[in-house]
Amino acid sequence: MSTVHRVVVHPSRYTQGASPFEVSTSDAPLKDLNADSRHVLIVGGGVSGLLVAWMLLDKGIRVTILAKEWARTWDFSEPRITSQIAGALWEMPPGGCGLTEIETPGAGWATVEHYREWAMQSYNFYMKYAEVSNEHEKGGSSLGLSVAKLHQFFYDDAITSCSKKSPRHEHYNKYAAVKTRIGGVEVYPDKEAIAQRFDKSIINLSSGGNHFQSGYTHTAPIINTDKALAYLMALVQRKGATLETREVKDLRETGQRLLTDYKADAIVNATGLGARELVNDEDVYPVRGAVRRVENTRHSKFRHLNDAYLVPAQIGPDGLPSKTVFIVPRNDDILYVGSIIQPHNENMNLTPESPEVQQMWDRAGDFMPSLNHAGFVNHFPFAQGLRPFTKKNVKVRADEDCGFPLVHNYGHGGSGWTIGVGTAQCAVHIVETLLDDKDKTGLLQVVGMQTDWSDIKKEKFSNAIKGTLGANEKSELLDKIQASGVPESCKDRLKNVVNSWSAELIKASAKIGNQTLTDVDDRLIDDKTNLLEVVTQSDWNDEEKDKFRNAINGTLGETEKAELLDRVRASSLQIPDTYRDRLTNVVRLWSAELMKASAKATNDAIYPIEDNVYKARL
Ligand SMILES: Cc1cc2nc3c(=O)[nH]c(=O)nc-3n(C[C@H](O)[C@H](O)[C@H](O)COP(=O)(O)OP(=O)(O)OC[C@H]3O[C@@H](n4cnc5c(N)ncnc54)[C@H](O)[C@@H]3O)c2cc1C
Ligand SMILES: *[C@@H]1O[C@H](CO)[C@@H](O)[C@H](O)[C@H]1NC(C)=O
Ligand SMILES: *[C@@H]1O[C@H](CO)[C@@H](O)[C@H](O)[C@H]1NC(C)=O
Ligand SMILES: *[C@@H]1O[C@H](CO)[C@@H](O)[C@H](O)[C@H]1NC(C)=O
Ligand SMILES: *[C@@H]1O[C@H](CO)[C@@H](O)[C@H](O)[C@H]1NC(C)=O
């Protein structure tokens, strides 16, 4: 009963600094939460958000998930979130729902190699999970994971290497990745080999009006998304996560407020298609898909299937991916039959009678004639959803513009379940990197070592580095505000600013004040100016005044920067030269810029820009 099942999550080659870590299926997080635990806000309750939550919790990090909608655990009459609609078959990227799934967006973004790395992390996770979770699975409460044979068929030779210019190259590359990274692949190099392996009464080897020319079989995880999402939601709650139904608007604008309101340290954006509005990301677009849900019991005329069958997308004459057959048995005696690939179409108005759905069904029936005897699941026979694609591929990266810790994990397209464990691991790595900001710590150490600086001076530098004020100084400043001649209506705002201090906050606050002001004149307040005024009017000595001004500005004057730079250079701190260079850069950039620099450095490590890409750009 009390067995703790643990599954190791290995770092990928793109997160080399990270050490492997474990997640557990027990109720208690592997590392206890306490008053000092960091707190991460996750926006989005699909697979991308929930997996990040699970991993953070088992690392002893507090989690609150905000989502507009959650998976339906019993009322199936309402629309379901994308993660629930998915057939949730694991596939080596690029997935079968489109050869164009992975774009070549250029420097600094996820490449097909990142996808494959994330997919393999997920694959290894699922396989290990399948081993340790059996008793949970029998109890009906688990990921709803099954491990099946996946047979794939091609109208061309996908098995033999060919010119990089050939469209076949994509299929070959994928096969090569499967063969080298997954053991036990069965290969059918030609028509005859396929005919020998597959019973013609099950598979129509010339469906689609063409003979299949090659194929292969490997083991693949399949997730029952209804079970998995219900399970993940319950699991993260038992581990201490708070789930709150809430729509978040414009994260870049409101993020800092959210961090203050929830007393949180970082935000993860896992909103799928929602990112379009939320981070105003024009790159995000929907690809409509649909599946029919077929009874896969042993009672009907239809022969029960244990294996999954796939005819991956081909590029049609119109340049769009087309003609897929997707037949996937879940562990609940329901067979998923799909699929449709309709980029830039977000109308959820398909029905089983829609021409494209009928074509999809006919295609599957052509491929597997026994499907024509199958019955549909009567309470939920048909599902449609919008895959969250982006023009620059899945975004698992630190936001480089906003100046507070915001980590994106969205745009998983047709492979959220395939790569989800890997992308979550990467997102968690980024969150941790931003939270233990090594640059900040390094600078603070340098300041701490200055024996010839007065305490007040050290404090000044430390506060500027942290972009914050200590508790004593906050209360001191609050008193000054109270005693000042600032109008009463402004005092409250100023006090809020002081209470939730940070350079970025002031910027955000100034900006919000500005916007509100265009509508409401009497709220035209520049918090920063007012605070500086309060300090100027105070009875503090010049050195003290400077300290507060610097903290308010979130910056140091040029002379002070130069002074600190000298100290960094002369520092006896045991730091490598590369790190010293970083610190020097940080001092030059400073403050909110510090977080941006840190975000950029983190992204650059994960998405290295290759020499040839640089050259191509020049
Ligand atoms: C027909 C079909 C078949 C598929 N088959 C497969 C497959 O075989 N294998 C595979 O790996 N993948 C498959 N997929 C893709 C997979 O479903 C997605 O990649 C995955 O679900 C994306 O998960 P997500 O958590 O990023 O987004 P979602 O599941 O869309 O979750 C987004 C969450 O964010 C919330 N949200 C959005 N905006 C806001 C906001 N402003 N404020 C607060 N909350 C917000 C939503 O309410 C929701 O909780 C398929 C998809 C479809 C449609
Ligand atoms: C096999 O597919 C071909 C081509 O689509 C079709 O003409 C034929 O009827 C199919 N065979 C069966 C048994 O369904
Ligand atoms: C959050 O992610 C969504 C994609 O899901 C993106 O469109 C949006 O821009 C992101 N929000 C922010 C504030 O970055
Ligand atoms: C305030 O609004 C003006 C006019 O729109 C703009 O030029 C200025 O940059 C804004 N200031 C801030 C802090 O956003
Ligand atoms: C703080 O910023 C104001 C303008 O916003 C500037 O006038 C002032 O010189 C700055 N003070 C310091 C100490 O940098």
Q: Could you give the angle at the alpha carbon of 438 between the alpha carbons of 36 and 597, nearest 5°?
A: 115
Quote the ligand 5 centre to 551 CA distance (angstroms): 10
Distance, CA of 100 to chain centre: 20
Asked if residue 213 lies in contact with residue 156, where contact means CB atoms within 8 angstroms, the answer is yes
Quote the ligand 4 centre to 534 CA distance (angstroms): 23
Nearest one of 225, 381, 223 to 308, comparing CA atoms: 223
List the structure tokens of 298: 């042993």
Distance, CA of 250 to chain centre: 17
Is 407 in the same domain as 536?
Answer: no
Q: 345 in the Ramachandran plot: left (φ > 0), alpha (ψ -120 to 50) or beta?
A: beta
Question: Is 52 buried (19+), middle (13-18) or exposed (0-12) by CB count in 10 A?
Answer: buried
Asked if residue 567 lies in contact with residue 588, where contact means CB atoms within 8 angstroms, the answer is no
Is 66 in the same domain as 208?
Answer: yes
| Per-residue confidence (pLDDT) for residue 328, from 0 to 100 | 95
Antiparallel, parallel or unpaired: β 266-269 and 334-338: unpaired
Asked which of 189-193, 370-374, 501-505, 581-585 is least confident by mean pLDDT, the reply is 501-505
For residue 416, pLDDT over 70 is answered with yes
Quote the ligand 1 centre to 229 CA distance (angstroms): 11
For residue 460, pLDDT over 60 is answered with yes
Of 403, 435, 467, which marks where a domain is finished?
435
Q: State how far the Cα of 516 lies from the Cα of 514, in Å rounded to an integer.
A: 6
Q: pLDDT by residue (tens digit) across 565-614?
A: 676 666 665 656 665 665 665 555 454 555 666 677 778 778 876 544 44
Q: How many CB atoms lie within 10 A of CB 162?
A: 16
Is 81 in the same domain as 201?
Answer: yes
Share of the chain above pLDDT 90, in %: 35
| Per-residue confidence (pLDDT) for residue 336, from 0 to 100 | 94
For residue 511, pLDDT over 70 is answered with no
Nearest one of 372, 351, 399 to 252, comparing CA atoms: 399
Q: State how far the Cα of 275 lies from the Cα of 408, in Å rounded to an integer.
A: 9
494 assigned to some structural domain: no
What is the per-residue DSSP string for 543-576?
A: HHHHHHHHHHHTS--HHHHHHHHHHHHH--S---
445 assigned to some structural domain: no
Quote the ligand 4 centre to 518 CA distance (angstroms): 10
Is 419 in the same domain as 510?
Answer: no
Domain count, the chain: 2
Is 331 in the same domain as 247?
Answer: yes
Task: Find the helix or strand (DSSP H, E) in which 275 lies.
Answer: helix 275-278
54 assigned to some structural domain: yes
302 assigned to some structural domain: yes
Q: State how far the Cα of 285 lies from the Cα of 414, in Å rounded to an integer.
A: 12
449 assigned to some structural domain: no
Confidence of residue 504 (pLDDT cuts 50, 70, 90): very low
456 assigned to some structural domain: no
Q: Between the ranges 312-321, 493-502, 520-529, 533-542, where is the mean pLDDT highest?
A: 533-542
Q: State how far the Cα of 426 lies from the Cα of 40, in Å rounded to an integer.
A: 15
What is the per-residue DSSP string for 431-481?
A: HHHHHS-HHHHHHHHHHHT-TTS-HHHHHHHHHHHHTS--HHHHHHHHHHH
End-to-end CA distance of the chain: 62
Q: pLDDT by residue (tens digit) across 55-103?
A: 999 999 999 999 999 998 776 667 789 999 998 999 999 876 555 567 7
| Per-residue confidence (pLDDT) for residue 8, from 0 to 100 | 86
Quote the ligand 2 centre to 172 CA distance (angstroms): 27
Measured in degrees and rounded to the nearest 5, phi and psi for residue 593 equal -60, -30
- The closest residue, in CA terms, to atom 12 on ligand 1 is 415
Q: Any bridge partners for residue 151, and if so which?
A: 217, 309
Is 515 in the same domain as 401?
Answer: no
List the structure tokens of 72: 């339906």
Index of the ligand 2 atom closest to the CA of residue 205: 1
Q: State how far the Cα of 101 lies from the Cα of 106, in Å rounded to an integer.
A: 15
Torsion of CA 468, 474, 480, 482, to 10 degrees: 120
For residue 474, pLDDT over 80 is answered with no
481 assigned to some structural domain: no
Nearest one of 439, 208, 461, 452 to 314, comparing CA atoms: 208
| Per-residue confidence (pLDDT) for residue 362, from 0 to 100 | 93
Index of the ligand 1 atom closest to the CA of residue 290: 1
For residue 616, pLDDT over 50 is answered with no
Index of the ligand 5 atom closest to the CA of residue 528: 5
Helix (H, G, I), strand (E, B) or coil at 264: coil
| Per-residue confidence (pLDDT) for residue 13, from 0 to 100 | 81
Asked if residue 265 lies in contact with residue 367, where contact means CB atoms within 8 angstroms, the answer is no
Is 403 in the same domain as 511?
Answer: no
Is 398 in the same domain as 515?
Answer: no
Pocket flag, ligand 4, residue 511 (CB < 6 Å): yes
Q: pLDDT by residue (tens digit) across 355-379?
A: 999 999 999 999 999 998 888 988 8
- The closest residue, in CA terms, to atom 7 on ligand 4 is 514
Quote the ligand 2 centre to 325 CA distance (angstroms): 14
For residue 290, pLDDT over 70 is answered with yes
Q: Which residues, at least 6 apart from 610, have a Cβ–Cβ distance to it below 8 Å?
A: none
Of 435, 452, 469, which marks where a domain is finished?
435
Confidence of residue 532 (pLDDT cuts 50, 70, 90): low
Is 51 in the same domain as 133?
Answer: yes
Is 508 in the same domain as 426?
Answer: no
Is 213 in the same domain as 320?
Answer: yes
Q: State which of 41, 83, 251 you would mutate to test the pocket of ligand 3, scoring each by most atoms of that ligand within 8 A of its C-beta.
A: 251
Query: Domain of 509?
Result: 501-617
CATH of the domain at 188: 3.30.9.10
Pocket flag, ligand 5, residue 553 (CB < 6 Å): yes
320 assigned to some structural domain: yes
Pocket flag, ligand 5, residue 370 (CB < 6 Å): no
Of 414, 435, 456, which marks where a domain is finished?
435
Asked if residue 541 lies in contact with residue 531, where contact means CB atoms within 8 angstroms, the answer is no
For residue 463, pLDDT over 90 is answered with no
Q: State how far the Cα of 41 lies from the Cα of 64, in Å rounded to an integer.
A: 5
Is 421 in the same domain as 524?
Answer: no
Q: State how far the Cα of 488 lies from the Cα of 389, in Å rounded to an integer.
A: 49
